[in-house]
A and B are shown apart, each in its own frame.
Chain A
C-alpha cells in the first residue's frame, strides 16, 4: 500500500482504501456485521424489556411473512416503496437532490382522487383507469418540473425547493379533503365509490394487489434499462459526475435536468395512482406515509441500482412490518421496534465502510 513512511508522529490508526477485495471476503464482512447487529439488538432487548431476543426475532419474521396475507401485504408495501424509490433514483444519479417525492406522490394521488370523484359514474371502468393513470402522471410530472425549471433557469437550490413543495402539496391535499369531506366537516373523504368500485384497480388472479406489483416490476425493469443502456441514462449520469464535462461533450444540461425531473415526477405520479386507485381508494394528507423520504434511503443503500433496490426496499419493509408485530405480541411500544430496525440498518450501511476501506493501526502490519 502507498503509505508515507515518514517519521512524523503517526496517528493511532488511519483509513486505507481497499482495492480488489475478493467477493467472498466482502460477503463475510457483511454477514459478520449483521450478526453483530443481531447480537447488539439482542442485548438491548434483554436489558430494556427482559424478553427473549430470539423470540423477538422470530416474531419479526412471523409478522412479516407468517401468513399468506402477510406475504401479500409485504409484497404490496415493498412495491409501493420501490416505486417511489425508482422515481427518485434518476434525479439522484444526476445529483439533483429531489426530496420532494412525498409531495409528488400526493399530487399524483390527488389527481387520481379528483378524477375518481368527478368521472366515477361517467366513464367505463377501463377507460377511467387509463384516464386516472394519465392524469396522475401528468400532474405529478408538472409538479416535479417546477423546481427543475427553476434549477435549470436560475440555478436555485433544489433541495430546499423540493422540500418546501412537499408542504404545499400536503396543505393542498388537506384543503381538498376538507372541502370534500364526508360527513361534512369531519376532515375525511372516506372510501371513494365504495359500491360501484369505479376507478378501483381490479383484482387480478383474485389478488387485490397483483396489478400494483406487476406495474412496479415493469417499472423496475424499465428503469434498469433506462439508466444502464439508454442514452438518456448515460447523459444524466454524466451531468451528475460533472456538469462541465457534460457541457463540453455537448450535452444540453438544462434539457437533461428538466427531462429527468419529468420522469421522476411521472413515476411518483404512478405511485400516487397505485396508492389511491390500487390500495386505499381514498386520500388523506398521510397517504404517502413518509415513503418519499424512506425512498431516499432505499435508493442510496442500493447505490442507485434498480435491481438491488428490490432487495433494499424489501429489507426495509420486512423490518417495518415485522416490527409492527412486536408491539402486538409483546405489548412493546412501536419505538422499540424502530430502535431494532435502526440498529440493523445502521450495521448494514456501516459494513460498506469496511468493505471499501481497511483500518491500519500504528506499528502494526495488519492486513
Chain B
C-alpha cells in the first residue's frame, strides 16, 4: 500500500499546491477582438503533427497569419492522431468556446463528421476530405485547392530545364525521363503527378516519367531511397508528392534537378532546387471566419485557386532553373487564369493509346468504388469541381508506375 499512497500523495500534492492557481491559466490568442460589430469568432485548429512536419507547418503558419490579420482568437491542438482522439480534441475545443473547428489531415474526417453531428451550431471544416458533399450536414465542410494547376506550372519549369539539358547535349530528347516519388496510388497523388507530367510535356514533348510509390505519407528514408532508385534508373529530373526532405536531399547529393513541394528547399539544396508549389491555406481560413462573422453559409466544398492565391509557387532558383523560366510560368499562369488553357485537356494525353471523350469518376465516397460522375466535358477533365478533393485517377500514357502495390 506504500506504493499506492506515495503516488496518491504525489498527485494530491501536485494538485493541492497548484489547483489554487489553475484560475490563472492563460489563453493564447491573437489580439482579442475589439470589434463588437460581428459575431465573435474563435477558431480551434487540430493538426496531425506539430511544426516539425512541413505539411502541418504550412497549415499552422497560414492559421496564425489569418487569425492575427482578422484579430480573432484561436487555439492550436497539435499531435492529434487520426482516431477517436480527434473527436475528443474537437469536443474539447468546443468546450473552450471555439465556434469553428478545423482539422488538417485526411484521416481526421470521420471523427470530424461525428463531432459535427454532435454540435450542430459549430462549424467544422476539414482539409483534403471527400465526404462533405454527400454527408449533407449544414455545418460540415471540405476544402482543397486546385494544386494540380500549381504542379502543372512547376512541370513547365521542369520541361524548360529538360530542354536546356537536351540542348546542352547532356542527353537526347528520347532520353528525357523524369522521376516522381509518390505516396499511395491515391487520386490526390495521381492528379498531382499527372498534372506535373503534362506541364513538362507541354514544353518538352518527348518526355516520359517513372513513378515510385513509398506506401507512406511521410517517410524520409523511403522517399530518399525511391529518389535514388529513380536517379539510378536514368531519370534526369525528380519531383515528389511526399513532404519530407528525402527526395530533395537525394537530388542534391546526385546533382539532379528537383522540383519540390510544400515550400522552398533552396537553402538545403541550392544547386538542384528549381521551384516548388504549395497550397496557401490563409485565404480559406479568412473565408470561413468571414462567413461565420457575417452569418453566411460556408460552402460544403471550397476549392482554392490561383486567383484566390491558394495555389502558390515559390521563387525560381536562378542557379538551377533554365533561363526564362519565370517569364514562361507567368505566361502559362495567365492562360490558366483566363480559362484558355486547361491542365487536363484531353487533346494533350492518351490512355492506352486512345483519346478520352468520356469518363465516370468516383466522386462520391461510398464503398462501391464505382465511378458515377461524368467529368469530361468540353474537351477537358473537370478536376476539383464536383468536390474539392482531387478525383483524377487515370493512368495516362507516358507515365510508368514502377510499383503499383501501394
Binds B, one of A122-130, A162-170, A255-263, A326-334: A326-334
Of the candidates A66, A70, A314, A327, the one whose C-beta lies within 8 Å of that of B79 is: A327
Q: Which chain B residues (8-66) contact chain A, with CB distance < 8 Å? A: 8-11, 13-15, 17-19, 21-28, 50-52
Kindly state the separation between the CA atoms of A308 and B3 in the bound complex, as whole angstroms.
Answer: 7
Q: Taking chain B's interface residues, is the majority helix, strand, or loop, or is none over half, making it mixed?
A: helix
With known contacts A30-B9, A279-B84, A328-B28, A186–B106 Cβ distance under 8 A: yes
A27 touching B6, Cβ below 8 Å: yes
B76 touching A327, Cβ below 8 Å: yes
B184 touching A334, Cβ below 8 Å: no
Among residues of B, the one whose C-beta sits closest to the C-beta of A333 is: B50
Q: What string of 1s and 0s marks CB contacts (under 8 Å) between B108-144 and chain A?
A: 0111011000000000000000100000000000000
Interface bin, chain A: 35 or more
Is A185's beta carbon under 8 Å from chain B? yes
Of the candidates A30, A66, A185, A188, the one whose C-beta lies within 8 Å of that of B82 is: A188
Among residues of B, the one whose C-beta sits closest to the C-beta of A186 is: B186
Interface bin, chain B: 35 or more
Kindly state the separation between the CA atoms of A182 and B130 in the bound complex, as whole angstroms.
Answer: 10
Is A214's beta carbon under 8 Å from chain B? no
Contacts of A282 in B (CB 8 A): 83, 110
Number of residue pairs across A and B with beta carbons under 8 Å? 167
Contacts of B110 in A (CB 8 A): 190-191, 194, 282
Is B365's beta carbon under 8 Å from chain A? yes
Q: What string of 1s and 0s marks CB contacts (under 8 Å) between A301-331 and chain B?
A: 0110101100110110010000010011111
Distance in angstroms from B394 CB to nearest chain A CB is 13
Of the candidates B14, B114, B186, the one whose C-beta lies within 8 Å of that of A187 is: B186
With known contacts A27-B2, A61-B22, A186-B106, A327–B369 Cβ distance under 8 A: no
Q: Which chain B residues (181-236) contact chain A, with CB distance < 8 Å? A: 183-187, 189, 215, 217
A185 touching B25, Cβ below 8 Å: no
Q: What string of 1s and 0s marks CB contacts (under 8 Å) between A64-97 and chain B?
A: 0011011001000000000000000000000000
Contacts of B113 in A (CB 8 A): 191, 194
Is A286's beta carbon under 8 Å from chain B? yes
Q: Which chain A residues (345-367) contact chain B, with CB distance < 8 Å? A: 348, 351, 355
B186 touching A185, Cβ below 8 Å: yes
B362 touching A184, Cβ below 8 Å: yes
Kindly state the separation between the CA atoms of A67 and B51 in the bound complex, as whole angstroms.
Answer: 27
Distance in angstroms from A275 CB to nearest chain B CB is 8
Is B91's beta carbon under 8 Å from chain A? yes
Distance in angstroms from A23 CB to nearest chain B CB is 6
With known contacts A61-B19, A329-B26, A331-B28, A67–B95 Cβ distance under 8 A: yes
With known contacts A58-B21, A66-B22, A38–B14 Cβ distance under 8 A: yes
A55 touching B26, Cβ below 8 Å: yes
Is A57's beta carbon under 8 Å from chain B? yes
Kindly state the separation between the CA atoms of A61 and B111 in the bound complex, as whole angstroms.
Answer: 26
Among residues of A, the one whose C-beta sits closest to the C-beta of B23 is: A58
Distance in angstroms from B124 CB to nearest chain A CB is 15
Is B5's beta carbon under 8 Å from chain A? yes
Q: What string of 1s and 0s marks CB contacts (under 8 Å) between A6-24 and chain B?
A: 0000000000000000010
A34 touching B109, Cβ below 8 Å: no
Contacts of B287 in A (CB 8 A): none
Distance in angstroms from B182 CB to nearest chain A CB is 10
Is A291's beta carbon under 8 Å from chain B? no
With known contacts A55-B21, A308-B4, A334–B88 Cβ distance under 8 A: no
Is A241's beta carbon under 8 Å from chain B? no
Taking A26-B6, A186-B106 as given, write out 16 further A-B residue pairs in contact, using a Cβ cutoff of 8 Å, ordered by the A residue number: A23-B2, A27-B2, A30-B6, A34-B14, A38-B14, A57-B17, A59-B22, A61-B19, A62-B22, A70-B92, A182-B369, A185-B187, A194-B114, A333-B51, A334-B78, A355-B2
A residues sitting closer than 8 Å to B (CB atoms) are 23, 26-27, 30-31, 34-35, 38, 54-55, 57-59, 61-62, 66-67, 69-70, 73, 174, 178, 182-188, 190-191, 194, 279-282, 284, 286-287, 289, 302-303, 305, 307-308, 311-312, 314-315, 318, 324, 327-331, 333-334, 348, 351, 355
Q: Which 8 A-B pairs have the closest CB atoms?
A: A191-B110, A30-B6, A185-B186, A58-B22, A311-B7, A57-B18, A58-B21, A280-B83
